[in-house]
Structure formats: C-alpha cells, structure tokens
Amino acid sequence: MSLATRTAAESTAVPQDDPRRSWAAVFALARFETRDLLRYIPVLVTLMLYVGYTAWTLFHEKEGMDAFPALQDADRATQTGPLLLGIALFVCVNRCTLRSRRRGTDRQFDVLVMEPWRRTVAHVLSVVPFAAVTALVVLGEFTRQALRPGAVGHGSLAEMAVGPLYVLLCGAFGVLLARLVPSTFAAPVGVVGLFVFSVFISAGTGGAEWSRWLSPIVGENSGNTVLPSDLVGRPAAWHALYLTGLVLLLALGAVLASGGRTLYLKAGAAGALALTLAGAVGQSGGVSAQLAAAREQASVSPQRDQTCVQRGDSTYCAFPEWTGRAGTWAEVVDRVQPLAGGTAARQPLLVRQRVEARYGLSGDGAIDPLTAPGQVTVGTRWGGNRVPEFAVGVASVLVAGDESKGGELCDGRVVTTMWLALGGASHPMTDLANVRLDDSVTGSAYVLAPTSGLYMTAGQTDVLRELLERPRGEVTASVKQHWTQLTASGVSTAQVARVLGAEVPKGAKDCAEE
C-alpha cells in the first residue's frame, strides 16, 4: 500500500517538475489515438473514399463546362468533400474517448502520470492529422482547377479553410460529447439530433441569414450563373473566424469538463467564445447596400465594369476576369459568320458578356435579349452546351438583326438560323442534341440560347437534319445565293426547303401554325 501510494505521488510529480515530458506524453498519446482511429472502418472507408475520389477527379480529363472552371466557385466546391469523413470522425473519436470507461480501465488511469484533462487534449489532437490531410486534398483540388487552361477568376483561402476546420470541429465535438454524456449511444443520437436541430432552426427562422450561416458548410450554387469575384459577397473570412472560434471553444470545453482548471485554459475558453461570437455577428450581416448596388450595375449596365478587345471585325466586351476568353468566343463567331450571306457575312458584331447578379449566387434569373442591332450576349459559363447555345445567339442576330427579334423567329428563318449555328461545327448532330432542351434530334423542341431561345417544329428539324447531312460547301453556296429570300420575314419552312433543294416535309408547319 505504501509503495503504491509513493509511486503515485512520485508519478504525479513528474509533469509538475518537467512540463516538457508531460506534453511529450500527450503528443505520444495523440499519435497512438490517431493510429487507433485509422482502425475504425467508418474512418478508414470515408478517408479512402474522399482522397481516392478527389485524386480521380484531379487526373480525370475534364470536358464541357468542367473544363472552364471559375475559381470563385471552385474554392467553395471543396467544402462538401470531407462531409462524411467529419461525421465518421465525430462518432469514432467519441468512441475512442470513452474507451477507458467502456473497458473499465478508468481506475488504472488514475495512477498514471497524465491527468485526465491532458488525455482529453490528446484525443482532440488526434484529429489534427486528418484535418491536415483534408487541407492537402483541398489545396490539391483547387490547384488543379487553377492550372486548367480555361480557368478564370480568383479563389478565397477562407473558403478553402472550411473543409479542414469542419473536420476539426467534428473531432472536438465528439470529444466534448464524450466528456459531457459518457455513453456510446450519445454520438449516433447526436448526429440525428444535430440534423433535426438544423432543420428546426432553418424552418423556425425562415432561412434567415444569421441562422443559415451557423451551419459549418453553407452551400450557394447556381446551375447557370457565375458571378465575378467581387460580386460573390460571401462572408467567408467571418465564417472561417466563426469556425475557428467554435473549434477552440468545443476543444477547451472538453478539457475543462475533464478537470482542467488552469487560468490559461479558462482564459482560452473565454477568448474562443469571443471569437465565435465575433464571427457569428460578422457573418450575419447579409448583402450590404454597396454590394447590392454593384450587382445591380453589373446586371443592368455591365459596360461600366467591362473591358473590350477587338478580334477581327467584331468587339468582345467582358468583365475583367473573362477578357482572356475573347479568343474562344471569336472562334465561334468566325465559324458561324462565314456561312451567312449578304451584308451579314461582313457585319461587325458586339459580343457583350452579361450576367443576372441581382439574385445572388443561388439565383438563376433569365437575361432579357438585347435590342440594339448586331449585339450578342454571352454568359459567364463556357464549354459544353454553352458553346452551341452561343452559336445560336450569333446566328439569330445575323438572320433577324438583333437578339429580341431573333427570339421571335417562328417561320422558315429558324432553319437558316440553325444551319448557321451548327453547319460549321465538327459534330453538328451532337450539337443539335445538346442545344435542344430535350436532347432530341427529331420532332419539335425548344432550342436554348444565352437569352431567349427558339422553337423548332418537326418539319424544320427534318429540313435542318437533311442540310447537315449534305456537303457543307454545297449548302453554304445555296444559303449565300438565296440569302435575301431565306431571311425574309414570313418565309415558310416549305419555301426554305425548296430553295435549298431539301425535301419538303409532309404537312410542314411553322411554329405559329402548330
């Protein structure tokens, strides 16, 4: 008995006399706990899935719109990857922290040199390597996107920090929950409870800005709209501060719950609480009046923010981050315009980039067509279906004169417009399917364009398909020769078919007649 008492007394004296040895033991225990976490199947599987899938996307050749990433969206896209890994760590760290209680070895730990609060610190530190791996994956993912030839825009370090901070947050919360509710059932119930709580908060506050940003990951994405970097308006820095404070608050709360009562720990917890509150208040401000005005100007009067460059006879005006893409747009114009006849073949065009920014990142508002002659709209996304859609916009202006009239085409001029848009493409039938709303190449369908699209009847589709299957030079010569007749208002689909030597579809009707 006396030997045991003396040994315990001598042991507890070690960390007081030699703090370096105490922290060395904490780090050694943290390394052990990290290795132990890797033995848990949920952690190992989600980690391999996260790293493996991201590595596959890094080396997989991107096509379509993915080949032209906007970095102000690419940074935000890194946040959802570690979602499952964080949940797995939350459950398994909680289980690791309760290991001694579950196995009845708490009494043995009482005679060791390390106090309970130091063991808690080791459990929190055991998550740090997983956060470091997440940070490397996020950095690699963003860097690969930034190195793509078609990349534009600017990323945010604060947005990229969300993934690693989320992993740390899950680990710290798992440890705190184990110290407050020492039961293995608490973690699964906690996951469900957090989900229900978040839904309740969202519904109870009507999706208010302050409650929406309390979530670790706040997704705001649009399928068609990419805003310039200075119009994104996300409080990313405040949110990173909020998450940092929350991580520290949960970790220090777990240490305090384990018996750590030093002045430094209490002061640290108070500081973490202050950081959390400062971040929460800072991120809840919503869209400022200055940002709303800037979005309004970019939507209504984009020419005030844009830079114009000349390519051939046409002018290309874009927001500063997209001016380098003018050459790509010019390739489409140079492919479409030589197929036209009359003065349209030499008409200088003004290609203007436009975006509907007034509804923020999640808005997908339609853009009204331009009414000035010879002006064409191009969006902020490019690649994939956006290429033939832009070609349709160029062709409709060449045929009708301006975008607003191009969207109203309803007669045989639709055939001429679609021939100009697709006749010079490498794979015209593929582009025809891509540009139609239902991805069809037969029958009637709606054709997409940067602003208002076109409606193709079944007869117009048949005539266009026959033209696309004939030699390009032959059709181009006929179009140029009969340009005035083909672009006359009211020309029927049957007349266009006869002029171009195509078979007149039986019962051919223009869209106004269907």
Amino acid type, 76: R
Strand partners, 378: 353
d(CA 398, CA 420): 9
Read out DSSP for 297-356?
HHHH-GGGT-EEEEETTEEEEE-GGGGGGHHHHHHHHHHHGGG--GGGGT---EEEE---
At residue 258, the 3 state secondary structure works out as: coil
Per-residue pLDDT tens listing for the chain (514 residues)? 344 444 444 444 444 456 666 788 899 999 999 999 999 999 999 999 999 999 988 887 777 888 899 999 999 999 999 999 999 999 999 999 998 877 777 777 766 667 888 899 999 999 999 999 999 999 999 999 999 888 999 999 999 999 999 999 999 999 999 999 988 888 888 888 888 888 888 777 777 878 889 999 988 876 678 899 999 989 999 999 999 999 999 999 999 998 887 888 899 999 999 999 999 999 988 889 999 999 999 999 999 889 999 999 999 999 999 999 999 999 999 999 999 988 999 899 999 999 999 988 877 778 889 999 999 999 999 999 999 999 999 999 999 989 998 888 888 899 999 999 999 999 999 999 999 999 999 888 999 999 988 899 999 999 999 999 999 999 999 999 999 999 998 888 989 999 998 888 776 566 655 5
Residue 241 Cα to chain centre, angstroms: 21
- Do the Cβ atoms of 335 and 328 come closer than 8 Å? no
At residue 454, the 3 state secondary structure works out as: strand
Strand partners, 436: 447
- Do the Cβ atoms of 67 and 150 come closer than 8 Å? yes
- Do the Cβ atoms of 127 and 206 come closer than 8 Å? no
Distances (CA, A) of 63 to 66, 150, 234, 384, 483: 6, 11, 28, 7, 36
At residue 139, the 3 state secondary structure works out as: helix
pLDDT value, residue 19: 61
Report how far apart the first and last C-alpha atoms of the chain are (Å, whole number): 101
d(CA 398, CA 344): 6
Reported as type and span, the H/E element at residue 461 is helix 458-469
- Do the Cβ atoms of 213 and 233 come closer than 8 Å? no
pTM: 0.86
d(CA 510, CA 412): 7
Q: What count of other Cβ atoms lies within 10 Å of the Cβ of residue 291?
A: 16
pLDDT value, residue 3: 40
d(CA 88, CA 44): 9
Pull the structure tokens for residue 82: 């570690």
Angle, CA 302 vertex, CA 300 and CA 308 arms, to 5°: 155
- Name residue, tokens 């171009």: 500
d(CA 30, CA 123): 6
218 by Cβ neighbours in 10 Å (0-12 / 13-18 / 19+) ranks as middle
